[in-house]
Chain A
Amino acid sequence: MRRQLYEVQRAMRSRRETALRRGVIAVLDIGTTKVACLVLQFVPEEVGEGVETRPVLRQGAFRVIGAANTRSRGIALGEITAMDECERAIRTAIQGAQKMANLRVDHVIVSFSGGRPRSYGVAGEIEVENGAVAERDIGHVLAACDIPEYGHGRDAIHALPVNFALDHRSGLTDPRGQIGRSLAVDLHLVTVAATPLRNILQCIRRCDLELAGVVVAPYASGLASLVEDEQELGAACVDIGGGATGLSIFVRRQMIYADCVRMGGSHVTSDICQGLQVSMADAERLKTMHGGLVATGVDDREMIELPSILGDWDHDRRQISRTELIGVMRPRVEEILEEVRARLDASGFEYLPSQRIVLTGGSAQIPGLEMVASHILGRQCRVGKPLRVQGLPQSATGTAFATAVGLAMHVSHPQDECWDFEMPADRQGARRVTRALRWFKENW
């Protein structure tokens, strides 16, 4: 099971390299409320002369040449509920971006926000073979990690080596070439439910696209919205999306925890819809036009005309004050944030050297969220817009596009994953020729 999955990941990686060599790749953020697509063009770059045994991705600069987003259909809580509808949404986004770029894209990297991601910290240790740590020692130590039983219906989606330790000297990011005896690694393994992931793969395949990678959405938004020293010293990114709130914790530029709260902005909308008895579309409009989280005296006097259901202006007129609207929205947001706090407490976030919290995602635009979040999470919070990316249209620079931008950053600077290293022969498939070749390579 695991071996097969890693082969899938390797295939995706090789496709990503093909796409980068071709210079054009699309990133697709499949969210609950919108599907956003960016087409990236990479500047072709000469491969350095130091060709490693492990193929090195070109770390080139890129620019966005096409961007499109559309309202998503058939997706709830970040998972596909209606395949056809979802496929149409993806087609719309892809076609719009292709049209803007005037280029055909074949490879796409997808973010996945549903599927109840779960994080595992895994450790492994081996003896170094020849004194200095070589490429294959890293493969060995990664293979030596004892993978926990994460359940039958789940797939590993990320396996990031976050820390290497060489003879009790911890905190190494790249131990290759160093002298030591025992090499240990901490691996961050993220698993998601297999069925929603398979649905996404199937959906992409039905759009005639090739999948070149799957990234959990909180990881991508963390990459885009955390600034460099936040990633270095420790920070949490809370991506409050439409149907799910992602949570990722970074320290020393590595993601060490990812989780997801299955609540988001659409729940706030449905609260308004039920509490004020308006249609869903009107509730969404009320939320975006007048919504807020902190009531002041002025809000008592600011009256909002509710759209009437019957359309009878004479008999069916209702007005509410903005305070009432805030009173409807705030409990749900507090609930979401309390859930986030519970996850943060469970993850051991308080032991990090710095504990910044960055709020992003579409729902982070609610006025007053920073104040409420600081209150509930007990730490300084800021609303983080995604980093600036060359060529990104102004309309796609808001917090709602953090995941899409983060995917682009992930493509241009991919982090090493477990399957980027070659597995030792005894753990790999029983292809004899490959094993014989490997034996020759290792002994001469």
Chain B
Amino acid sequence: MLPVKTPRRDPAPSRLRYRLTRLWLRPGFRRLANFGLPMLAGLLAAWTLMAEYDLRGRAMLAFERVREAIVDQPQFVITRIDIPDVSPDLAEQIRVAAFVDLPASSLEVDVVSVRARIEALDAVERARVRALASGVLEIRAIERVPVVVWRSGPGLQLLDPAGVRVAEVDSRLRRPDLPLIAGEGAAGQVPEALELFALARPLHDRIRGLVRMGERRWDLVLDRDQVIRLPETGAAAALAHVMDLQAAEDLMDRDLTVVDMRDPRRPILRLGENAVAELVRVRAMVAGEDA
């Protein structure tokens, strides 16, 4: 029996196939077919879909519904704001500044912006905001502690050691426990001012405050209009010197108006009127004795 012989297949491409292959090997055509046409088709499809207003509205509505269904889950609801370890009136301020309507969904509360709003408060140094699983928004804030009262042009302000404003007060009598500083640029030198107040502790009950002169040096003002002028550099040493004199000779209890320590090598005293007259008298008496 003869095996059935299939005719030998001719591997030649048909003319159409040959032309298509050659067309496909054109780089420009290839790029067009691979990128241009799909992109065009995608754009066209998106355009026709979005052009139908109804369809777009419905799509957005459906999306909104799904989103609400997720957001309104009871697991996500915040019912309480917790602000531990903070004085009551600051807590009230923080509660207002956080600007969260209760009950809110924890998916919708933007804790970062809440934190930014809270940290924008003067009295808050740093804050941490967390949405806890138990439906509590916990805000941990670190309060700024005022150390001085600063009398500047418009009014009285409380400053913390870094010189940042903590609050404004209407009267000095609200915080008599804090020392007073005054003058332009005093806010930037709070640590130095505190050091000077510590040195001047022996005159504690007579101090009225420190005045920043010309934004470069301090004047320590006591009652009876007495002034101790301190130099720009080495103010602490100069004040210590004065305090030594006070301890030894009760310098400030005498009839003085100004102790000028601006040149530490040559302290200058200005006497009061009575003292000057007394000095003249004593000198004349000494001169008379001599004569």
Tell whether, in the assembled complex, residue B13 and residue A104 are in contact, meaning their CB atoms are under 8 Å apart.
Answer: no
Q: Within the complex, what minimum Cβ distance (angstroms) separates A275 from chain B?
A: 24
**Chain B 98-138 per-residue mask, 1 if CB under 8 angstroms from chain A, else 0:** 00000000000000000000000000000000000000000
Tell whether, in the assembled complex, residue A92 and residue B25 are in contact, meaning their CB atoms are under 8 Å apart.
Answer: no
Chain A residue at smallest Cβ distance from B2:
A311
B224 at the interface (CB under 8 A from A): no
8 Å CB contact of B25 from A70, A73, A89, A102: A102
Bound: A207/B15 CA distance, A: 8
Which chain A positions have C-beta within 8 A of B73?
none
A88 at the interface (CB under 8 A from B): yes
A91 at the interface (CB under 8 A from B): yes
A: number of interface residues (CB 8 Å) = 17
* A88 and B2 in contact, given A103-B25, A208-B19 (Cβ under 8 angstroms): no
8 Å CB contact of B12 from A88, A208, A310, A311: A88
Tell whether, in the assembled complex, residue B22 and residue A92 are in contact, meaning their CB atoms are under 8 Å apart.
Answer: no
8 Å CB contact of A207 from B1, B18, B25, B26: B18
Tell whether, in the assembled complex, residue B12 and residue A89 are in contact, meaning their CB atoms are under 8 Å apart.
Answer: yes
Tell whether, in the assembled complex, residue B12 and residue A92 are in contact, meaning their CB atoms are under 8 Å apart.
Answer: yes
**Chain B 1-20 per-residue mask, 1 if CB under 8 angstroms from chain A, else 0:** 11100000011110100110
B21 at the interface (CB under 8 A from A): yes
Bound: A95/B17 CA distance, A: 10
Tell whether, in the assembled complex, residue A91 and residue B2 are in contact, meaning their CB atoms are under 8 Å apart.
Answer: no
* A91 and B12 in contact, given A207-B18, A208-B19, A311-B3 (Cβ under 8 angstroms): yes
Q: Within the complex, what minimum Cβ distance (angstroms) separates A19 from chain B?
A: 15
Tell me the total A-B contact number using a CB cutoff of 8 A: 34
8 Å CB contact of A91 from B1, B3, B13: B13
Tell whether, in the assembled complex, residue A92 and residue B2 are in contact, meaning their CB atoms are under 8 Å apart.
Answer: no
Which chain B positions have C-beta within 8 A of A99?
21
Tell whether, in the assembled complex, residue B3 and residue A104 are in contact, meaning their CB atoms are under 8 Å apart.
Answer: no
Tell whether, in the assembled complex, residue A92 and residue B11 are in contact, meaning their CB atoms are under 8 Å apart.
Answer: yes
8 Å CB contact of B22 from A208, A310, A311: A208
* A88 and B10 in contact, given A95-B18, A311-B2, A311-B3 (Cβ under 8 angstroms): yes
Which chain B positions have C-beta within 8 A of A104?
22, 25-26
Bound: A73/B8 CA distance, A: 13
Q: Within the complex, what minimum Cβ distance (angstroms) separates A54 from chain B?
A: 33
Question: Which residues of A from 82 to 103 have beta carbons under 8 Å from B?
Answer: 88-89, 91-92, 94-95, 98-99, 102-103
* A91 and B26 in contact, given A70-B11, A311-B2, A311-B3 (Cβ under 8 angstroms): no
* A98 and B12 in contact, given A311-B2, A311-B3 (Cβ under 8 angstroms): no
Main secondary structure of the interface of B (DSSP, over half): loop
Which chain B positions have C-beta within 8 A of A89?
12
Bound: A208/B18 CA distance, A: 10
Chain A residue at smallest Cβ distance from B21:
A95
Tell whether, in the assembled complex, residue A98 and residue B3 are in contact, meaning their CB atoms are under 8 Å apart.
Answer: no
Bound: A70/B9 CA distance, A: 13
Which chain A positions have C-beta within 8 A of B18?
91, 94-95, 207-208
Chain A CB count within 10 A is highest, among B2, B3, B15, B26, for B15
Which chain A positions have C-beta within 8 A of B15?
91
Which chain B positions have C-beta within 8 A of A310?
2
Bound: A239/B18 CA distance, A: 32
Chain A residue at smallest Cβ distance from B15:
A91
Q: Within the complex, what minimum Cβ distance (angstroms) separates B21 from chain A?
A: 6
Which chain A positions have C-beta within 8 A of B3?
311
Tell whether, in the assembled complex, residue A98 and residue B13 are in contact, meaning their CB atoms are under 8 Å apart.
Answer: no
Tell whether, in the assembled complex, residue A92 and residue B13 are in contact, meaning their CB atoms are under 8 Å apart.
Answer: yes
Question: Which residues of A from 295 to 321 have beta carbons under 8 Å from B?
Answer: 310-311
Chain B residue at smallest Cβ distance from A103:
B25
Which chain B positions have C-beta within 8 A of A207?
18
Question: Which residues of B from 1 to 56 have beta carbons under 8 Å from A?
Answer: 1-3, 10-13, 15, 18-19, 21-22, 25-26
**Chain B 258-283 per-residue mask, 1 if CB under 8 angstroms from chain A, else 0:** 00000000000000000000000000
**Chain B 171-182 per-residue mask, 1 if CB under 8 angstroms from chain A, else 0:** 000000000000
Q: Given contacts A91-B12, A91-B15, could you give 8 more A-B pairs where the C-beta distance is less than 8 Å?
A: A70-B11, A73-B10, A89-B12, A92-B11, A92-B13, A207-B18, A311-B1, A311-B2
Chain B residues at the A interface, C-beta cutoff of 8 Å? 1-3, 10-13, 15, 18-19, 21-22, 25-26
A-B contact pairs, 18 of them (CB 8 A): A70-B11, A70-B12, A88-B10, A88-B12, A91-B18, A92-B11, A95-B21, A98-B21, A98-B25, A99-B21, A102-B25, A103-B25, A104-B22, A104-B25, A208-B18, A208-B22, A311-B1, A311-B2
Which 10 A-B pairs have CB atoms at the shortest separation, nearest pair first? A88-B12, A104-B25, A92-B12, A91-B18, A95-B13, A104-B22, A92-B11, A91-B12, A91-B13, A311-B2
